[in-house]
Amino acid sequence: VPVFLFVAAPYIRRYVAGGRCKSTARLEGKVVIITGANTGIGKETARDLAQRGKVIIACRDIAKGEAAASEIRAETGNQQVTVKKLDLADTKSIREFAEKFLAEEKELHILINNAGVMLCPYSKTADGFEMHLGVNHLGHFLLTFLLLERLKQSAPARIVNVSSLAHHGGRIRFHDLHGEKSYNRGLAYCHSKLANLLFTRELARRLQGKFQRQAEFTANALHPGSVYSELVRHSFVMTWLWKIFSFFLKTPCEGAQTSIYCAVAEELDSVTGQYFSDCQPAYVSPRGRDDETAKKLWSVSCELLGIQWD
């Protein structure tokens, strides 16, 4: 068995690594925002895109963000890697981020909604939303709403939402969106990842027909794979398991490949409302294809955030 594992190890790792983004597309003169890019797959996405164009790291922890940006600037030689404060668990912070960005930048070509929380003990955001739903879905929903016009003005533009295979276990529980009646932190994560998919689907539907060419504006979602990162930090058991089975998990760089693919691949110029994994189309659960639920979630999200988005 040890000999077999030794021989098979390179093949196992190659399989685990999954697809790679092969696009060499440049982003000169283009602006990219990546949320949560101070660590994990977000940081690796920023590292790759910084070799192509201007990158803004939007994160809650400015110190970690600056450390990541400094490392990326030194490695890529691109000084156009900056950090902006963004706390997705606080709508005030989201609005302040958007206001400052719009005042400083005249264009935005790619928005990667990457940041997320996973397996949190029950808690609420500053606005009273359940933490997974508030950060993973509502925070990015509001951020996209506030930046949408700038994206439209800068078209061709892309919105990339990091969802997960976990959406298969999710449900949109309209009767208990904030988990006040019953709460399971694993399921709460699944619910929020399903919300990411439904948001992507409904956003793409609403954008269709708004432009002369569909290639001018797309929105897609993705599953990054099972990645060895800090995302499981709220669970001692998962952290322990992740360490034991790290050989069978993607590295953050491998996990970032599909985000990069959705952001730059030329063959996706006119592809919208789709879901990808390992840099190729992936199966979406029936709940993830439910247009009525997607429309209702959109309406409820607007109501919770106090916005009108028609």
Give catalytic residue positions.
Answer: 189
Only one residue has tokens 């609403």, namely 206
Bond preceding residue 156 cis, omega within 30 of 0: yes
Q: Are 79 and 104 in contact (CB under 8 A)?
A: no
> What DSSP line would sit under 144-188, residue for residue?
HHHHHHHHHHT-SEEEEEE--GGGGG----GGGTT-SS---HHHH
Only one residue has tokens 């949109």, namely 172
Structure tokens at 310: 């028609």
- Residue of 114, 219, 221, 119 whose CA lies nearest to 165: 221
- Phi-psi category of residue 284: left, alpha or beta, with phi > 0 → left and psi -120 to 50 → alpha: beta
- Residue of 298, 37, 296, 293 whose CA lies nearest to 167: 293
Strand 81-85, strand 280-281: pairing: unpaired
How many C-beta atoms surround the C-beta of residue 245 within 10 A?
Answer: 11
